[in-house]
Amino acid sequence: SSNFPNITRLFSIGQSVQGRELWVIEISDNPGTNETEPEFKYIANMHGDETPGRELSLYLIDWLCSNYGSDTRATSLVNNTAIYIMPSMNPDGFELGQRYNANGVDLNRDFPDQFNDPNNTTYGRQPETKAVMDWSINHNFTLSANMHSGALVANYPYDGPSSGSYSACPDDDLFIRLALEYSENHPEMYNSSSFEDGITNGAEWYAVSGGMQDWNYVWEENFEITLEQSNTKWPNESLIDDLWDDNKESMVSYIEMIHTGLRGLVTDENGPIDATISVSGIDNDISNDKINGDYYRLLTPGTYSITARSIGYASETVTITINNGSAEVHNFNLSSDPNLENSDIEGFELGDFSGFEWENLGNEAWVIDGNESVEGQFSARSGSIGNNEQSILSIDIDIQEDALVSFYSKISCEPTGSQTGNYYDYLSFQIDGQEQDKWAGESGWTFREFPIQNGSHTLAWVYTKDQGVTSGQDAVWVDYIVLPSQADTDIVIGDINFDGTINILDVIALINNVLEGDLLPGTDTYTASDINGDGTLNILDIVGLVSTILGSGL
């Protein structure tokens, strides 16, 4: 870093159990600056006695820096990528000559796990794990790999739940391509007698609970594979140069894969906005960078329907053909969603269910959750039910014309059967008792949208449990429910508590609504509270309501 200060930044993301720094080097043409370019990371030596990756990281750092400005590939990578390399995640284990950290913990079993520990928190985890999680959460990594030894293979998600059973993730085709990119450039790995084409699905090889690659994919929207780069865990130093020769092309070409697929910006008329990018047929959304608005969606060659979506904006869907080679570019410029002006939006920001006429049915009522939300502070969480029970959140609506109902949901429960595909514990959305769709397993906040015909309907969000296994947080959440414009109702302006009379109790309710300032426009309560009909709630509405009561002689 001292020799190449213009293209490197050396920093520590934390300390190990024994107080050693967890060093990371950033290599970029503008290190320390969040540019409109994808972020890549390599992490090595998370198992202290698996040492080749530690050395190969140093060789790669030297190659990138020494060849910058003279070698086309090195220069292009540094100019167009934010590359982060961590040569040793487990420096204590390396010094002790052991797999585990100084607390005797296998760091590649210490991450949140979608099947056995789906609590995406750093609480109770090892300092090395916590440091990597905090660092990753504060970045927008697109592609990464972690380096191991003891075999010669490129391993891709999922790592669980069962050994010997292929466990495909939604981006299975992409991960096969990423793993092949590494193995095909490593002839000995590709021609392995132990693994076809030198690659393997993690769980099909053997199950790992708490592995880093699955955590990156499930929770960080980051495509990561696990590299076994040498059959020998601690080779003689005389072999290091040969190991670099064997792995160099694979390590470089794997980084270059970050510049394939689809990339672009998501903006509105004022600049970058937060958004999610969805690919039809692949149940794995990604987010763009919150500062610059840039997104990077790795995809295999083919034609895809791509949607950019942001809360409060009309979504945009395009058809894109991805070819081999450099990434296709498409910029989304989103406009405010005009449908929201005439829709009822339930974000549960009152901290209760009073904004609409909700019904809580089933065995346990839904509750308001202040720790989870897709927008604002609150969401609705399913009740704590037992085996063979249901928790149902329901509402009756009467809409004027054919429209759409949309919402965001988050799922953390027992997954579907790995072989049968059966649903055991799951969230379903129903219209008039007819199931529209259902979801199980682990998934972050995901947008859902369904058509609905004009007329009266009953909508229901139903969390159902069977009699067997409990997994995850055993809960589901919904938030930011957009209900179509409803037929005119008999809302009496001033009857804020909807008890059929206008009195001092309504004044008290209005004062609370004005002081709290979080009542959502479009709700019945907001309409009844807007005494002067100017679209805002303030002291003028309180004065108007008091005058109404006094003038009527009540």
Residue 182: what pLDDT? 98
Instruction: Flag whether pLDDT at 57 surpasses 50.
Output: yes
Are 211 and 219 in contact by the 8 Å Cβ rule? The answer is: no
Contacts for 379-385: CB closer than 8 Å, 24+ residues apart? 379/348, 379/410, 379/477, 379/478, 379/479, 380/348, 380/353, 380/461, 380/477, 380/478, 380/479, 381/475, 381/476, 381/477, 382/427, 382/463, 382/475, 382/476, 382/477, 383/463, 384/474, 384/475, 385/463, 385/465
Tell the burial category of 30 from Cβ atoms under 10 Å away from its Cβ (0-12, 13-18, 19+). Answer: middle
- Contact predicate 167/206, CB 8 Å: no
pLDDT for position 469: 83
pLDDT tens-digit series, residues 188-216: 999 999 999 999 999 999 999 999 999 99
* Per-residue three-class SS string for 82-117: EEEEECCCCHHHHHHCCCCCCCCCCHHHCCCECCCE
| Catalytic entry in 26, 55, 228, 328 | 228
Phi-psi region of 387 (alpha: psi -120 to 50; beta: other; left: phi over 0): beta
Span of 102-116, 246-260, 489-503 with lowest mean pLDDT: 489-503
Q: Is 228 a catalytic residue?
A: yes
- Contact 296/260 with Cβ under 8 angstroms? no
Q: Can you tell me the distance from the alpha carbon of 105 to that of 110, in angstroms, rounded to the nearest whole number?
A: 8
The pLDDT assigned to 490 comes to 65
Q: What is the pLDDT of residue 73?
A: 97
For residue 56 the two structure tokens come to: 């190969």
CA distances 113 to 137, 209, 213, 414, 495, Å, are 16, 6, 10, 13, 50
User: Residue 340: pLDDT above 90?
Assistant: no
Kindly report, residue by residue over 98-153, the tens digit of the pLDDT: 999 999 999 999 999 988 888 899 999 999 999 999 999 999 999 999 999 999 99
Q: Quick count: other Cβ atoms within 10 Å of Cβ 58?
A: 17
> Among all chains, which residue has been given the structure tokens 């993690």?
202
Of the candidate ranges 7-21, 427-441, 529-543, the one whose mean pLDDT is the lowest: 529-543
- Phi-psi bin for 421: left (phi > 0), alpha (psi -120 to 50), beta? left
| pLDDT attached to residue 554 | 45
Q: What is the pLDDT of residue 126?
A: 98
Please name the residues in contact with 66: beta carbons below 8 A apart, sequence gap of 6 or more. Answer: none
Inform me whether the pLDDT recorded for 466 exceeds 80: yes
Whether residue 322 contacts residue 304, with contact meaning beta carbons closer than 8 Å, is answered with yes
pLDDT interval class at 553 (50, 70, 90): very low
Residue type, 218: V
Look at residue 141 in the predicted model and tell me its pLDDT: 98
Concatenated DSSP letters of 388-440 = T-EEEEEEEEEESSSEEEEEEEEEESPPPPTTT---SSEEEEEETTEEEEEE-
Q: Using CA atoms, how far apart are residues 137 and 299, in angstroms rounded to an integer?
A: 23
Tokens of 43: 């992490």
Alpha carbon distance, N-terminus to C-terminus of the chain? 79
* Cα 554 from Cα 548, distance rounded (Å): 9
Helix axes 72-80, 52-66, angle to 10 degrees: 100
CB distance 306 to 317 below 8 Å: yes
Which pTM does this prediction carry? 0.80
**Residues 404, 407, 411, 414, Cα dihedral to 10°:** -30
Distance CA 243, CA 53 (A): 10
Closest CA to 41 of 291, 202, 300, 225: 225
Percent of the chain with pLDDT over 90: 81
pLDDT of residue 500: 81
Residue 414 has pLDDT above 50, yes or no: yes
* Average pLDDT value over all residues in the chain: 94
User: pLDDT category, 351, cuts 50, 70, 90?
Assistant: very high
Long-range contacts of the stretch 317-324 (C-beta < 8 A, 24+): 320/262, 322/260, 322/261, 322/262, 324/260
